[in-house]
Amino acid sequence: MTKILLRNTGIYFLINLLSQVAVFVLWIIIARALPPSEIGVYALVIFLVDFFGAFSVFGMDTVLLRFYYSEEKREAVLSNVIIVFVFSNVLSLILLFSLSGLISRLIPGLSAPLLKYLILFSAMILTSAFYNFALSHYSSLKQVKSFGKISILQTVLFFVLSLAFLNLGLQILGIFYALLISYSVPTFVFLFKEAKNIFQNNPSCSEGQS
């Protein structure tokens, strides 16, 4: 048991280290490629995405960790949590749209990009929430390989696509597109892989099939 724990801890550490190193290197490149004003906008947008993304998760990561090891079937837990998770995401996006004007007044530097790219930022929040949910799912189940695959996939996609879009002259918008795609692909991988567990144990799906 100790060997497994040490191995898993080491893998998590290496994955997080790789991610941090990649982000650090990318920040150096971004700082040289973009003007300081756009870097400030990027930081504000990331704050916004993280804030509403955390609201979207709504403590579901804690629920997974607690109930995956209860008497309930894990598939049933995942299916029910996904339903609550979807509703919390909808509520989070409604709040974003409702508060966009207020946020623009409170954070003047975010006013123009928020109102112009509100749909893009909403998509970033949604996909980042699903990505973090997927990480929590695999972490709770101690499925280190699956955790590592989607985590590394997101890191590599963000790094490579950011460089590609910067090279194409998309500036800060390219970074946002890279972030959106890097969250979206692991999300689709997670949903495709877990679709059977999600929908087979979904009460509404079961009623529809009966």
For residue 150, give the H/E element and its range: helix 144-167
- Categorize the per-residue pLDDT at 75 as very low, low, confident or very high, splitting at 50, 70 and 90: confident
d(CA 15, CA 85): 26
Tokens of 50: 């993280």
The per-residue pLDDT for 19 is: 87
The per-residue pLDDT for 143 is: 87
Residue 72 is classified by DSSP as S
Task: Please give the C-alpha separations between residue 11 and each of 128, 146, 149, 157, 177, in angstroms, as whole numbers.
Answer: 22, 12, 11, 20, 29
d(CA 101, CA 167): 33
Which residue did the predictor score with more confidence, 137 or 60?
137
The per-residue pLDDT for 208 is: 42
The per-residue pLDDT for 200 is: 62
- Categorize the per-residue pLDDT at 123 as very low, low, confident or very high, splitting at 50, 70 and 90: very high
d(CA 26, CA 103): 28
Q: Residues 197-201: what's their mean pLDDT? A: 66
- Categorize the per-residue pLDDT at 167 as very low, low, confident or very high, splitting at 50, 70 and 90: very high
Q: Show Cβ contacts of residue 47 under 8 Å, excluding neighbours closer than 6 positions.
A: none
Helix, strand, coil shares, percent, the chain, to 5: 90, 0, 10
Q: Residues 139-153: what's their mean pLDDT? A: 89
Q: Residues 57-78: what's their mean pLDDT? A: 74
Helices (H), the chain: 2-33, 36-57, 60-67, 74-106, 111-116, 118-140, 144-167, 171-200, 203-209
Q: Show Cβ contacts of residue 88 under 8 Å, excluding neighbours closer than 6 positions.
A: 55, 56, 57, 58, 60
Task: Please give the C-alpha separations between residue 129 and each of 26, 35, 41, 133, 141, in angstroms, as whole numbers.
Answer: 22, 29, 21, 6, 18
Whether 54 contacts 128, CB under 8 Å: no
The per-residue pLDDT for 196 is: 78
Residue 108 is classified by DSSP as G
d(CA 34, CA 172): 7
The per-residue pLDDT for 137 is: 87
User: Per-residue pLDDT for 192 more than 70?
Assistant: yes
The per-residue pLDDT for 1 is: 52
User: What average pLDDT does the structure give for the chain?
Assistant: 84
The per-residue pLDDT for 188 is: 94
